[in-house]
Structure 1
Amino acid sequence: MKVSYNWLRQFLQFDLEIEKVGELLTDLGLEVEGIEKVESIKGSLAGVVVGKVLTCDKHPNADKLNITTVDLGDGSAVQIVCGAPNVAAGQMVPVATIGTVLYDAKGEGFKIKKGKIRGEESHGMICAEDELGLGSSHEGILVLDENLVVGTPCAEVFNIEIDYVFEIGLTPNRADAMSHYGVARDLRAGLIQQGTSLELISPSVSDFHVDERTFKIDIEVADRELTPRYCGISITDIQVKDSPEWIQNRLKAIGITPKNNIVDITNYVLHELGQPLHAFDAAKIRGNKIVVKNAEEGTKFTTLDEVERELSSEDIMICDAEHNPLCIAGVFGGLHSGVNEHTNSIFLESAYFNPVSVRKTAKRHALNTDASFRFERGIDINMTKYALKRAALLIEEYAGGKLSSDVLDFYPEKMEDFQVFLSFENAYRLIGQEIPEETIKNILASLDIKISSVTEAGLGLTIPSYRVDVQREADIIEEILRVYGYNNVEFSHKLNTSISFVANQQTKIENTTANQLTALGFNETMANSLTKPEYVEVLESLNEDHNVTMLNPLSNDLKVMRQSLLFSGLESVAYNINRKQNALKFYEFGKSYHKYDSGYEEKKHLTLFVTGVKSKDTWTRKSEGANFFYIKGIVNVLLEKLGLVHVKSTPTKSDVFSEGITLSIGKTKIADVGVVKPTILKKFSIKQEVLFADFNWQNVLDLVKNKKIKVVELPKFPSVKRDLALLLNKEVDFKEIYNLAFQSERKLLKEVDLFDVYQGDNLPEGKKSYAVSFVLQNEKKTLAEKEIEKIMQKLQRTFEKNLDAVLR
C-alpha cells in the first residue's frame, strides 16, 4: 500500500525526517518496504527560470524561426533561437537553461545543450506548456505573468509539489491502516509514546447541509446480514470536469491516474478515510430506487472494464427499481451506470458489506479492486456516513453540485463495540517484562481503546469499531507491545541455548529406508497434497464423496486433497519425460486424505516409481529396461533391510495395475507392486511402461515397531526350486494358480511366484504364457528327487484339470 508523506501531514502537523517516519511506522508494525520521491512534474522544473524577451528578430536563414535575446536575471542576455509563432519582445517566458533536463510524456529525459540552428547560436530553449509537463498544448510558447521577477525558478511559479511515498507491506489483519487517516492515527500513537503529543486533525463535515430536497432516490436492502449498513445521497446540477490540481497531485503520488472530479473525489476519500464510495449516474437508476439484493444465478453483467461476467446467486448486487444490476457491491461498478461527461446528477453510495461475501465475489470474478481490498478485510462501519458527507462536500465545492436529498441511512441494528478484559499478569508474562500500569493506560488511550473498568487484576476495555482485528486479550497485549516498542523490551546480553534433535523411531525407519533407496539410485520427490478433483474418476476404487475439498482453493487444479499418491507421482514422471529424462526412479513419503461418514482420515504412504532403463550403458554391459521383477526386487530389499521376513505375495486386487501383487505379513497388508495400466498412463501422455509400488507405511511402521527379534536355527536341509511354463486362457489370473497350488500341496510347498508373463506371437488366440516358480522344502530331511517329481506332477495335473493349462 502506498502512503503519501504530504498527505499524512494533513492529519498530523509534524516535521520529522522522512527516514524517521519510515522507521517509526515499521516499529509500529506497518513495515516500510521502500521510500520513493515523487514530483508533481518530473524533474521539478530544475534549471527552468523566468526570462524576459528583450528582442525578437527573424532568422536570416529560416522563415519560421526567430532569433531572440532573453534576460535570465543574471546580468547578461543570451541568444535563443525559437520557432514558436507567438514569441515577441517584452514577454515573460519560461526558459530551460543549458544543462537542464526536460521530460516528455513517456518520462524520457532530454538535455538542453548549447547549439547552432541554421548557423545561429542558441543558448537554451523557450518552452511550451507540454515541454514543461504542465499540459498538452504545443501551439506556442507559454507566456507568463508580466509581473514576475526575471530569474525566478519556475518551480516556485507553478508551485511544484515534491512528495515522498512509503510502500507499506500491510498485513491482512491491519484493516485499520488501509487509509492515510488510519496510518496517521497509528503514527500519532507512536509519537505519543516517544513524548510528542500531536492533535489528529480530522476532515471537517460541519458545513454539511441539504441545499434542496427535490430529488430523492429510495433505498431497499434485501438482506441486512450481507449489507448491515447502506447510506446514500442525491446530488444534482454537477459539472463533470477535471478535479483540482491538489487532488490530482495526491492521487498521482500514490499511483492513481486522475479521471474526472467525481471519480477522483471518491478515490480521494477512499484513500483518505478508508471508506469505499461509488457514484451512480442518477439518470441510469430506473424508478428512482436502489435495491440491494443477491443476483439471480447466471445473470449477465458488463463491468467497467467492458468484460461481460456471469453472476452468481451469492453475489450482492446494487440494482434499480426494475432489478437491473448497476454494480457488483463492494467490488466493481457497471459499465452503463458510471459517471461520464454528460452526467449532471448522481447518487452517491457509502456502505458496509459483509467481508466474507465480498471476498468470495472478488475471487469468483478474479477482480481485485481498491474497494474489495478494503471491504473483504473489514472497514469501520461507523465511518460510512461520515465519509459520505466528506465526499458530498468536496463534490459540492469542486463540481458545483447541490445536495438534493437527506442522507438515507439503512442501519437497522447498530454494531456494538467489542469488549475485552486485559489481565496485567498475562500482559507481563507475554511481553517478558513489567510495563508500568500508567504506561499501559496511556498506550491504550492513544489507540482509542477505552478503559471501561479498572481492577487490581486488570482492565475492562472497549475496542473501537475500526479495530476489527482486536478481539482477544492476546491482541490487546500485541497492541501494547508494538506501541511500547519491541526494541524497548529488555533482554540479557548473554544468550545460552542448546540445540538437540532426538530422532524418534519413525524418523529413524524412514531415514534408513530413504538412504537405502538413494543408494539404489532413487531420487526423492515432494508433491503437493492438493490436486485435481477429476483424478478420482480415473480409478473405480476412488470415490468423489471421499474428497476433502478446499473451501477457498487457489485454483481448480488445487481444489481437493489427494486420495492417492499415484497421480502426483505420474505428473512428475510425465514432466521429466517431456524434458528428455526417460530413465527415472522416484520415491515419496506422503499422505493420502479421505472424508468418511465417521470423519476425516489420513493415511501414510511410501510410493516408488520406476520407468525406463535400470542403469546407463557401460563399456562392459548394455543397459536393461526396468521390469516388474526389478521393482519387486527393490521392494524385497527394503523389507529385508527393515527386518520384515516371511512376506507373502498374492495377486493384487488394486485397479491401478495391469499386472501386480500384494505383499503382506499375516493378515497385515504391506504394499501393492506392479505395472501401471496403460489407460491410466495415457491420461498423462506417458507412452512408456511405469512400475509402481505403494506401501501402506503405517502398517510397515507398526510391524517394525512391534517386531520382536527371534533367533531361530537355520534350516539344516536345503530348499528346492522348480518352474512350470503354463499355457493358459487369457482370463486366468495368477491368484487362481496361487490358490490351487497351496490347496494341492500344503506341507512342503513354501512359495509360489510369477516371474514371467508372455502374450504375443506364436501363441494360440486367447492364450497367454505364465512362468511360475515353486519352492519346496522339508525341514526334517533332504527332499529326494522322486518326492519332488511327484509333487510337481501333482501340481501340473491340478492346473490341467482346473484351468485347462498346457505345459509348454
Structure 2
Amino acid sequence: MKISYKWLKELIEITETPEEIGKLLTGTGLEVEGIEEVESIRGGLKGVVIGEVLTCEKHPEADRLKITTVDIGLEQPLNIVCGAPNVAAGQKVILATVGTTLYPTGSEEPLVLKKSKIRGALSEGMICAEDELGLGQSHDGILVLDTDLPNGTPASEYFGISSDYLIEIGLTPNRADAASHYGVARDLKAVLNREIKLPAIDSFSTDNNDLPIQVSVENDEAAPRYAGLTITGIKVGESPEWLKQRLNTIGIRSINSIVDITNYICHELGQPMHAFDADKITGKKVIVKTVAAGTPFVTLDGQERKLSDCDLMICNEAEPMCIAGVFGGLTSGVTTETTSIFLESAYFSPIWVRRTAQRFGLKTDSSFRFERGTDPNMPVYALKRAALLVKEIAGGSISSEITDLYPNPVADFEVKVKYRHIDRLLGKSLEKSLIKSILNGLDIKIENEDEIGFTAIVPPYRVDVQREADIIEEILRIYGFDQIELSQGLSSDYLSDFPVNDPEKLKMRVSELLAANGFNETITNSLTKPEPQSTLGESVFGNPVKILNYLSEDLSVMRQTLIFTGLEVVAYNANRRQKDLKLFEFGKTYHELNGKYTEKERLALFISGNIQEETWLEKARDVAFHDLAASVNQILVSMKVKSVEKEAADSNIFSQGITLTLNKKPIVSFGLLKSSITKKADIKAPVFFADFDWDYLLKQYNSAVEFKEVSRFPEVRRDLSLVVEKKITFEELRQIAYKTEKQLLRAVNVFDVYEGANLDGKKSYSISFILQDDQQTLTDKVIDKSMQRLIATYERELGAVIRK
C-alpha cells in the first residue's frame, strides 16, 4: 500500500522526517518496505532556468535553425542553436543548461544535454518546448513566458514543482483498517498522542431537490448499508494540479475530475465510492440486488462477463450498472459529456465481494478494501466530503437529500479483558493508566472497569480485534515490542507431557531426507483432465470430484492420484533431454465414493533414467526396483514405522510392485508403472513410482525415542541354499524364518537367486541368517539346533530341497 507523506501531514501534525515516520509505523506492525522521493515533474527540472533571448539570427548553414544568445543571469550570455519556428529576440524562455537531464514526454530514455556544435555553431544548452520538459504533449514551438521573474530563476519556482515522499507499506491482510491515509494516521495518533484533523464537512447542504433518485436494497445481507446523492450541473474535465499530483504520488493515473475524486476519497478515508452518470440511470431508480445467473454484463475494461446469482449488482430499472464493490459498467460511467451524477457510498459484505472478485479474477482498489472489511460508519461522511470536492472542482449543485439505507447497524465488538492476562502475555506489568491511554488512542473505549479487568468496546472497522489476545496485541504494538525487556531466566505457563507432532516439521524432515538423496521436489496442479484417471477404473480411486464451473476440459476434475500430474513433469523434463530424474511431491488427492467426499494427503516418488552416471570407473546403470525400495525404506525408518507386511501391489497400476501394510492398512505402494500408463504421458522409458498414504503415515509416527543396550556378545552368520517352487517369494521365506526362530534370529538376507532350465520351474535362493543371544555367547550346538529347526520348517511347509 502506498502513502503520501505530504497527504499524511494534512491529517495529523507531523514534525518527524519520512524515515522517522517509517520507523514508527514499522514498530506498530505497519511494516514500511521503502521510502522514495517523488517529484511532480520527473527530475524536478534541476538545471532548467528562465532566460531572455537577447539576439536571434538565421543560421548561415541551415535554413531552419537560428543562432541565439540567451541571458540566464551569468556574466556572459549563452550561445544557443534553436530550431523552433517561434523563437525571437526579447522573449522570456525556458532554458536547459549543459549537464541537465531531461525526461521528455513519451520517451523512455532521459536526455542529457552536452555542449556541442550544430552545423559549425556552438550551442551551450537548449531552449525547451513543453514536451521536452515533460510538462505536456505540445511540440509546436518553444515555451514563451509572460513573467517578470529575473533571468536565471529556477524553472521549478515558476512552475511550482514540488516533491513528496512515497511511503510503501507491506499491509498484512488483517489490517484492513490501515488501508488509507486516515487509517495510517490513526496509528500515528496512538503512537505520537496527537489529534487527527479530518477535513471539515460543516458546509455541506442540499442546494435543491431537482434530481431525486429512488434507491432500494433487495439484499441487505450483501449490502448492510447503502447511501447516495445526486449532483447536477457539473462540468467534467481535468483535475486540478494538486489532485493529480496527490494521485500520481501513490501511482494512480488521473482520468477525469469526478473519477479522480472518488479515487482520492478511497485512498484518503479507505471508503471506496462510485459515480454513475445520472442521465443513464433508467427510471431514475437504483436497485441493489442479484440478477439471474448467466446475465451478460460488460465491465469498464470492455470485457463481457457472465454473472452468477451470487454477484451483488447495482442496477437501474432496466439493467445492471455496476458489480457492487468490484468494478463499474462500461455504459454507466462518467465521461466528459456527463452533466449530472449519482454518487454511491456503501458498506458491502466482505464475503460477497471476496467471492465475486475471486470468481472474476478482478482485483481493484475497491474490492481490496471491501473484501477485507471497511468501516460501516464511514459512508455518509465520505459522501459529504466527496460532494463538497465535486462542487469545488467540477461545480454543480447537490440536487437530492442523502439516501442512507442502514436497517441493521453494525454493532461495536465487546471484549472482556483481565489485567493479569495482559501482564502474562506481555511479560511485563504496565500501569493501568498507560493501558487505558493506549486503548483510547486507538478509539477503543473502556467500560465496566474494576480491579480485575474491563470491557473493551472496539469500533467495527477493527475487524481483526475481537478477542482478548487481540486487545493485548494492540497494547503491545503501540507500547513497543522493543520496550519489553528480556528476563534473566526462561519460564513457561505450561509444559506438555505429551508433545503434539508437528505435521509440517515431519514433512520437512522427509523432504530434506529425499533432497539429500538427490530428489527434487515438484508442485503440480490439483485440477487435471479426467481421461487418464478414468482408465484406472472406479475400483481403484472411486469417482472423480468434478468442477461445476471449470475453465477448460483439461482442468475439469480434481486429481484422484498423483501419478498423472507427476508423469507430466517427467515427460516435460525428458522432452528437454533431462532424462535422469528423481522427483517427489507432497500433494492432496480428492475422491467421491458412495456420496461421500474425501481429501487425502499423499507423498509420491518418481524415479526414471539412470540411477548412476557414466564415469571412468563404472558404466551408467539404469534405475532398478531396489533403488526405489531403498528410498521407501529410508522414509519408513525416518518415520519410525516398523513391522510392515508385504503384499502384491495393484496390477492396474504396477507391472511389478509391492504394497506395504501396517495393521492391515496400506501405507505405501511402489514399483514399476505399467507401460500402458506411461505411454499416456508419451514416456517411453520405465518409470518407478511410490505412493505413500501420508495422512496414515503421520498417525503412526511416535516421537518417543526407544533405547536398547548394545549386546556384549557377538553375532553369528550362517548361510543356507535351498531350492523351492518358482512362485515362492523371498518375503515368504523371511516370514517363516522369523516365525520359526523368534529368540535368536536378528536378520535375514538373500544374497543370490538362481533360475535356470535345469531347475525345471523352480529357483534357488542363497540366504544368510544372523543369530545372536544378548545373554551369552552362542555355542555351535545352539546354532546348529536353530538351523536344523529352520531347515525342517522349510522342508515341511514349502517342500524345499536343501543344497549341500
Counterparts of 1:319 and 1:701, CA distance in 2: 54
* 2:408 counterpart residue number: 413
| Contact kept? 1:331, 1:362, Cα under 8 Å | yes
Is 1:90 aligned to 2:121, yes or no? no
Is 1:185 aligned to 2:191, yes or no? no
| Contact kept? 2:295, 2:308, Cα under 8 Å | yes
Secondary structure of 2:183's aligned partner:
helix
Counterparts of 1:383 and 1:85, CA distance in 2: 56
- C-alpha change, 1:691 and 1:101, in structure 2 (3 Å) is closer
- C-alpha change, 1:506 and 1:69, in structure 2 (3 Å) is closer
Secondary structure of 1:93's aligned partner:
strand
* 1:111 counterpart residue number: 112
| Contact kept? 1:72, 1:151, Cα under 8 Å | yes
| Contact kept? 1:715, 1:779, Cα under 8 Å | no
- C-alpha change, 1:348 and 1:602, in structure 2 (3 Å) is closer
Is 1:281 aligned to 2:277, yes or no? yes
Counterparts of 2:556 and 2:361, CA distance in 1: 16
Equivalent position amino acid for 1:227 in 2:
A
Counterparts of 2:33 and 2:367, CA distance in 1: 23
Counterparts of 1:490 and 1:723, CA distance in 2: 76
Secondary structure of 1:41's aligned partner:
coil
Cα offset, 1:237, TM superposition: 1.6
* 1:800 counterpart residue number: none
Matches within 5 A, 1:175-214: 175-192=176-193, 198-214=194-210
- C-alpha change, 1:98 and 1:403, in structure 2 (3 Å) is same
Cα offset, 1:775, TM superposition: 8.3
Is 1:49 aligned to 2:45, yes or no? no
Equivalent position amino acid for 1:454 in 2:
E
| Contact kept? 1:420, 1:471, Cα under 8 Å | yes
* 2:73 counterpart residue number: 73
Counterparts of 1:210 and 1:19, CA distance in 2: 44
Counterparts of 1:462 and 1:782, CA distance in 2: 83
Is 1:396 aligned to 2:387, yes or no? no
Cα offset, 1:87, TM superposition: 3.1
Structure 1 window deviating more from structure 2 (485-494 vs 170-179): it is 485-494
Cα offset, 1:393, TM superposition: 1.1
Counterparts of 1:784 and 1:314, CA distance in 2: 72
How does the TM-score come out when normalised to structure 2? 0.79
Cα offset, 1:756, TM superposition: 12
Cα offset, 1:273, TM superposition: 0.8
- C-alpha change, 1:668 and 1:394, in structure 2 (3 Å) is closer
* 1:728 counterpart residue number: none
Structure 2 unaligned spans of 5+ = 493-497, 733-739, 741-752, 768-786
- C-alpha change, 1:87 and 1:202, in structure 2 (3 Å) is same
Secondary structure of 2:681's aligned partner:
coil
Is 1:682 aligned to 2:679, yes or no? yes
What is the CA deviation profile of residues 460-480 of structure 1, one whole-angstrom value per residue up to 9, with x for unaligned ones?
Answer: 221123212111111111111
- C-alpha change, 1:686 and 1:407, in structure 2 (3 Å) is same
Matches within 5 A, 1:125-274: 125-192=126-193, 198-274=194-270
- C-alpha change, 1:437 and 1:238, in structure 2 (3 Å) is same
Match of 1:295 among 286, 291, 309: 291
| Contact kept? 1:92, 1:148, Cα under 8 Å | no
Cα offset, 1:13, TM superposition: 2.8
Counterparts of 2:53 and 2:524, CA distance in 1: 76
- C-alpha change, 1:503 and 1:689, in structure 2 (3 Å) is farther
Equivalent position amino acid for 1:688 in 2:
A
Counterparts of 2:697 and 2:183, CA distance in 1: 57
- C-alpha change, 1:200 and 1:792, in structure 2 (3 Å) is closer
Is 1:314 aligned to 2:310, yes or no? yes
| Contact kept? 2:723, 2:762, Cα under 8 Å | no
- C-alpha change, 1:588 and 1:156, in structure 2 (3 Å) is closer
* 1:372 counterpart residue number: 367
Secondary structure of 1:373's aligned partner:
helix
Secondary structure of 1:454's aligned partner:
coil
Structure 1 window deviating more from structure 2 (715-724 vs 680-689): it is 715-724
How does the TM-score come out when normalised to structure 1? 0.79
Cα offset, 1:262, TM superposition: 0.9
- C-alpha change, 1:646 and 1:458, in structure 2 (3 Å) is closer
Is 1:720 aligned to 2:722, yes or no? yes
| Contact kept? 1:212, 1:402, Cα under 8 Å | yes
Cα offset, 1:724, TM superposition: 5.8
Counterparts of 2:790 and 2:46, CA distance in 1: 108
Cα offset, 1:682, TM superposition: 3.1
- C-alpha change, 1:586 and 1:371, in structure 2 (3 Å) is closer
How many matched pairs? 742
Counterparts of 1:516 and 1:67, CA distance in 2: 74
| Contact kept? 1:186, 1:447, Cα under 8 Å | yes
Counterparts of 1:608 and 1:162, CA distance in 2: 58
Equivalent position amino acid for 2:131 in 1:
D
Equivalent position amino acid for 1:682 in 2:
K
Equivalent position amino acid for 1:98 in 2:
V
* 1:18 counterpart residue number: 18
Equivalent position amino acid for 1:90 in 2:
G
Counterparts of 1:666 and 1:454, CA distance in 2: 58
| Contact kept? 2:522, 2:584, Cα under 8 Å | no
- C-alpha change, 1:407 and 1:271, in structure 2 (3 Å) is same
Counterparts of 1:552 and 1:455, CA distance in 2: 56
Matches within 5 A, 1:353-368: 353-368=348-363
What is the CA deviation profile of residues 136-159 of structure 1, one whole-angstrom value per residue up to 9, with x for unaligned ones?
Answer: 222222222343333322211111
* 1:657 counterpart residue number: 654
Counterparts of 2:43 and 2:670, CA distance in 1: 71
Equivalent position amino acid for 1:655 in 2:
N
Structure 1 window deviating more from structure 2 (692-701 vs 22-31): it is 692-701
Cα offset, 1:365, TM superposition: 1.1
| Contact kept? 2:92, 2:146, Cα under 8 Å | yes
Equivalent position amino acid for 2:422 in 1:
A
Cα offset, 1:706, TM superposition: 14
Counterparts of 1:506 and 1:152, CA distance in 2: 69
Cα offset, 1:677, TM superposition: 2.7
Secondary structure of 1:9's aligned partner:
helix
Equivalent position amino acid for 2:153 in 1:
T
Match of 1:541 among 534, 539, 542: 539
Q: Please report the RMSD computed on the Cα atoms of aligned residues, expressed in angstroms.
A: 5.0
Equivalent position amino acid for 1:452 in 2:
E
